[in-house]
Amino acid sequence: MNDLPREFLRTDFGHEVYDGWYLEHGSYNFEAPEFVERHFPFYKKALLLSKDDKILEAGCGIGSYSREFARRGYHVVGMDLSPNFLSEAEKITQHENLEIEFIFGDYNEMNFEEKFTVIFFEGSFFYQSKEGLISLLSRIHKALTSNGRVYFVHKNPSIWKKGYPIANWSQTKKNVFVLQKAEYDENDGVEKCLWLKIDLETHKHYKCDFSVMHLPPDELKNCLMAAGFMDFHFHKKRRLGNFDPKNDNDFSVVARK
Ligand SMILES: C[S@@+](CC[C@H](N)C(=O)[O-])C[C@H]1O[C@@H](n2cnc3c(N)ncnc32)[C@H](O)[C@@H]1O
């Protein structure tokens, strides 16, 4: 036990250790094809999809949603900042004989001009500050063609905060333990997440801590408008009904340029 390092090695999304663990430990973190397929009627109606659409899936992970778009005949580009996920995405896509362009990149730095008719996020829309959110939405606005649409899922903090704090220990294999923790700070609207991996076999331990902001729906509206989106709708999560701020945990946002 004396050999254990005091420091944990830092890691995050896009780091091969974190992403390797995410792929292995949390296969449920990526949606199963049946789950993805089930929600397509909603995407089709809410986003008014047509076969002429050119779709960017931002934060595509292993490409579960990109592949469903491609299977249905849409032109899709997948973007992610994890080489590990992208190589997995390419492998599965080739195996299915589908054609998708996967690109490496941080969506916060996207610099496209009127290139996509749809920008789609599923489980991948993250921001750390209000300024960061407006900057991201502005880049999305610029990247969309006229009448282009953006889609993402957002948490409703007034309901979510009731479920915090969360802490779960699990054993992923012999001598390897993982802690996943999250708490919500109401003052700054930020969810603080922590992931620890303790490996008693190799004595290498990893730590990933990150923050995600969840603005209340009205503030999100202000940010959408600040970025130039005047036409937007908040749906129930992956359903056509209207979002109910008093009862719904999450909501799906569709904004049109
Ligand atoms: C929870 S996974 C969801 C993946 C996929 N959308 C799905 O549902 O199967 C979140 C993904 O977002 C990616 N991601 C997070 N921040 C990103 C950023 N700033 N730019 C590009 N990708 C990002 C991560 O690498 C990860 O693949």
Q: Give 99-124 pLDDT, tens digit per residue.
A: 999 999 999 999 999 999 999 999 99
Confidence of residue 2 (pLDDT cuts 50, 70, 90): very low
Rounded CA separation 74/52 (Å) = 7
Please work out whether the CB of residue 69 comes within 6 Å of at least one atom of ligand 1. no
Write the residue with the smallest CA distance to atom 24 of ligand 1.
59
Q: Give 180-190 pLDDT, tens digit per residue.
A: 899 999 889 99
CATH superfamily of 31-156+215-256: Vaccinia Virus protein VP39 (3.40.50.150)
What's CA 87's distance to the chain center, in Å? 18
Centre of ligand 1 from the C-alpha of residue 125, in Å: 8
Centre of ligand 1 from the C-alpha of residue 121, in Å: 8
The reported pLDDT for the residue numbered 38 is: 94
Candidates 3.40.50, 3.40.190, 2.40.160, 2.20.25; correct CATH number of 159-213?
2.20.25
Please work out whether the CB of residue 132 comes within 6 Å of at least one atom of ligand 1. no
Centre of ligand 1 from the C-alpha of residue 3, in Å: 35
Please work out whether the CB of residue 30 comes within 6 Å of at least one atom of ligand 1. yes
Q: Are 223 and 130 in contact (CB under 8 A)?
A: yes
Please work out whether the CB of residue 227 comes within 6 Å of at least one atom of ligand 1. no
Average pLDDT, whole number, for the chain?
Answer: 92
The reported pLDDT for the residue numbered 1 is: 44
Task: Give ranges for CATH 3.40.50.150 in the chain.
Answer: 31-156+215-256
The reported pLDDT for the residue numbered 202 is: 87
CB atoms inside a 10 Å sphere around CB 145: 15
Which of 29, 80, 104, 208 gets mutated to test ligand 1 (max ligand atoms within 8 A of its CB)? 80
CA angle, residues 73, 124, 91, in degrees to nearest 5: 50
Query: If you search the block for the tokens 């992610």, which residue do you land on?
Result: 80
Nearest Cα to Cα of residue 85 among 129, 124, 119: 124
The reported pLDDT for the residue numbered 12 is: 79
Q: Is the pLDDT of residue 10 over 80?
A: no
Extended strands (E) in 162-204: 166-173, 176-185, 190-199
Provide the β-strand partners of residue 155: 250
Write the residue with the smallest CA distance to atom 26 of ligand 1.
61
What's CA 128's distance to the chain center, in Å? 13
The reported pLDDT for the residue numbered 21 is: 77
Please work out whether the CB of residue 82 comes within 6 Å of at least one atom of ligand 1. yes
Closest ligand 1 atom to 85 CA: 27
Centre of ligand 1 from the C-alpha of residue 148, in Å: 21
Name the H helices within the chain: 16-25, 33-38, 40-46, 64-71, 83-95, 130-143, 157-160, 217-226
Give the predicted TM-score (pTM) of the model. Answer: 0.93
Rounded CA separation 136/73 (Å) = 28
Residue environment code for 96-123, b if the CB has 16+ CB neighbours within 10 A, otherwise e: eebebebeeeebeebeeeebbbbbbbbe
Q: Are 10 and 195 in contact (CB under 8 A)?
A: no
Task: Give ranges for CATH 2.20.25 in the chain.
Answer: 159-213
Write the residue with the smallest CA distance to atom 27 of ligand 1.
61
Q: Give 190-212 pLDDT, tens digit per residue.
A: 999 998 989 899 888 989 888 99
Which of 124, 191, 252 gets mutated to test ligand 1 (max ligand atoms within 8 A of its CB)? 124
